[in-house]
Structure 1
Amino acid sequence: MKFLKSISQDKIAAISFIVIVLTMIIGTFAPLFSPHDPNGVNMGLRYAPPSLEFLLGNDHLGRCILSRIIFGIRPSILWVLGALVISVLIGAVLGFLAGYFRGKVDAIIMRICDIMLSFPGYVMTLAIIGILGIGLGNILIAFIIVKWAWFARVIRTSVMQYSELEYVKFAKSVGISNLTIIRKHLIPVTFADIAVISSSSIGSMILQISGFSFLGLGIQAPNAEWGMMLNEARGVMFTSPELMLAPGLAIILVVSAFNFLADSLQIILNPKLSRTIKPKKNSPFSKIKNQEKEVAG
């Protein structure tokens, strides 16, 4: 409730949160919201303009664009969220091990992370797709393999910082088990950092999977995916630009919503980053402001 109250105080964050929740609900229950079969071919409606029956028109095979946009939420967002959760879990486990126990454990895990992070993300992902083959599932596996090292390094830094707090040192000195310390003392305080880096990463992952699908490396026809829909409409982008407009706007809207929400989460979970700092009544800054008002008056 406190989180929702904080979100509601920021209009942009509230709108972004509503957009994300509605998008995920529509994607989860896509068959209920889809007005037509997304793979239903009707050549008589080829490149048909928007109408009351087909609100966003039809593509080169006469398929309902709106229905394909709705079903495209699943691979473009929901499955990407699944890959993100797995990446964060792997990175969190290894990050906690490295940041808390340090020593040889930290050295081994960090050297592995250094190896993984020494390659550009896109290059590494393309190499894994080249080995495993094209397909959405292989792209998601590539995301997990590439992303976990970055999450592990960031979470390790956060854990090392909080491990130096006095109450954590006291818990160690009185003989409380390491698992209990991690579970009760470290996970709650590092959760904010994990939530922020996770929310800031989802937007780039959505763009990446759309880009790979646009190149033909992702989900294959006849399944719907936003990047693949852009690729299908590329040949008629000047004669029928509306075919690219719908999936393009969908990607921009969702990615922007995640980015705005991530920015708001940083402020909500870290009060030090508050946009505005109210000066105290008797502070030098408030006196200067009062003098300026008197001069202006």
Structure 2
Amino acid sequence: MAVVRDIDPSASPLDYYSYELRRLREEAGLKQAELGAIIFCTGSLIGMIENGRRVPTRDFSERVDAALGTGGVFSRLVGLVLRSVLPTWFQPYAEMEARATFISTYQCQLVHGLLQTEPYGRALLSVDRPDQVDELLAARMDRQRILDGENQPALWVVLAEAVLHQEVGGADVMRRQLDHLVSFLDHPWVQIQVLPFSAGQHTGMLGSFTLLRFGDDPDIHYEEGYAQGYMTANPPVIRERSVGYARLQAAALSPEHSAVLIARVMEERYGERPGTGERAVA
């Protein structure tokens, strides 16, 4: 039998979630295994979450809400829980990202987190955080919910061509990731451009960066170093990076030609065209 951990609900969002899950389950007169059977998971998983040893997913939270009739308590809490899992230095950026009305990003090494598939994200996170992959991946995938909401931001992504060739997670993972990128071609709020090798030297060679714009608040510039990220609203920095981003957009292929290039790399390097039923891009 698992040892019941004494949870302080004020210690963290995860501890509060764990405390409430145990309290409401017991209030409903259900054992862990009984609740697990109702929501199609094991009683041991319920126990680990109640002990704060496993981070809940959004799907788990929605099923618990339905089973316990909580009126959406856990579906509302899980966003806070998943955000708290992110590195401390990244959390302020994630909060700003969720509020932004326009996101412009240049990526020189990796597909941006908002456009990553689960296998691609898992492969990346397993390099340095093998013991936290599940919870960090859940948090990363949860960030992508902003692209599906009623107030979704406009997202403009410029990818260096090298990103298409840097194999992450193996050929199958890359095929799926590139296919996912092509699927955004007709998306009304997401634009993807590839900066080709032929562009030569360019203003993005110092590294990846992101610009966030808001309805009423000042713009924010964000970039990551090896150990942490850096965020600023300094007007000269915003001006310089905004001009630099415009130059990158001008040097990059159009979204349509970018999709053609992605499909070609997908076929030539990873052995497959975009999925059956996808819009033809060649």
TM bin (shorter chain): under 0.3
TM-score by length of 1: 0.21
* Bigger helix fraction: 1
Structure with the bigger percentage of strand? 2
Which one has more relative contact order, counting CA pairs under 8 Å at least 6 apart?
1
